[in-house]
Amino acid sequence: IKTIGRSRSFVDRDRHKALVQELDHLRVTIATRLGERDVARAIELLWEFIGIADAVMGRIGGGILEVEGVFTAAMADLGRFSAAQPAGDPKALARRVLAFCEREGFGATDALIRHMSDALGSVGRREIRQATEAALRAAPQAAGSQDWRADAHRRHHAFRLALLADLERDADAFIAAIRAGGVEDIRALDVADRLIAANRPAEALDWLDKPRQHVEYGDEDEDEDEDEVTENEDEITATDLRIAALEALGRKDEAQ
């Protein structure tokens, strides 16, 4: 693990497959052979393994998704082993998870919070939520419509709060997180979906009736094609959600 993490050589297309196989072989060995004998040691090695994600993905020319998939699988292994361990200090675990998620680079991903949710428990998740809420309060407001860095920083924290709300199955906390990030017009369908799941279909319809903003990816022709596909998928999703809400309200004729 340390040797791979220290390497600085560029991984071209010819060497990419071998790297993916080597990484996954390491992951599987830790998660099976070692995990069966020494769970505590397997957990520490999995932490070391996901710790080299930034260094590895920073020297890959292509096929990042395959490599990222190996590290995501390692997070799932880590979460599974950590949840099976005797309960430790959930606040200390929360701080360790948060420190990983706050790193800059390819490996900085809130996916670890999702995979570590059971191990964190309500106490650990609350620790992360409170730290994230404090960071959001301290984050500077955007100086204008062009201040995308400040917007991105605030949205980063807001999206983490939305993830934590999902883990707690708290629709109101999800809505608060979306509003904190200023993305109500982008995430309206997500809010409606969660309100329907919470048996609040009338509120879901209100969100479906709100004006929605479509996220554009660029000005190139191929990006415009992708935008059109995404917009069509959003409309299908919106229709499905509206039908589900109307049926839940007993408004069968409107649903039809």
More confident residue, 63 or 183: 183
Nearest to 60 by CA among 120, 132, 135, 4: 4
Assess whether pLDDT exceeds 70 at residue 227. Answer: no
More confident residue, 3 or 148: 3
pLDDT tens-place string over residues 175-201? 999 999 888 988 999 999 999 999 999
Asked if residue 80 lies in contact with residue 43, where contact means CB atoms within 8 angstroms, the answer is: no
pLDDT tens-place string over residues 146-172? 666 667 888 889 999 999 999 999 999
Helices (H), the chain: 2-6, 13-29, 39-51, 53-57, 64-84, 90-101, 111-115, 117-138, 148-167, 171-180, 188-197, 201-208, 221-248, 252-255
User: Per mean pLDDT, which range of 17-26, 109-118, 223-232 is the poorest?
Assistant: 223-232
pLDDT band at 107 (very low <50, low <70, confident <90, very high): low
Assess whether pLDDT exceeds 80 at residue 222. Answer: no
For the chain, the straight-line distance linking the first and the last C-alpha, in angstroms and rounded, comes to 57
Q: What is the pLDDT of residue 105?
A: 67
Assess whether pLDDT exceeds 90 at residue 81. Answer: yes
Q: What is the pLDDT of residue 218?
A: 46
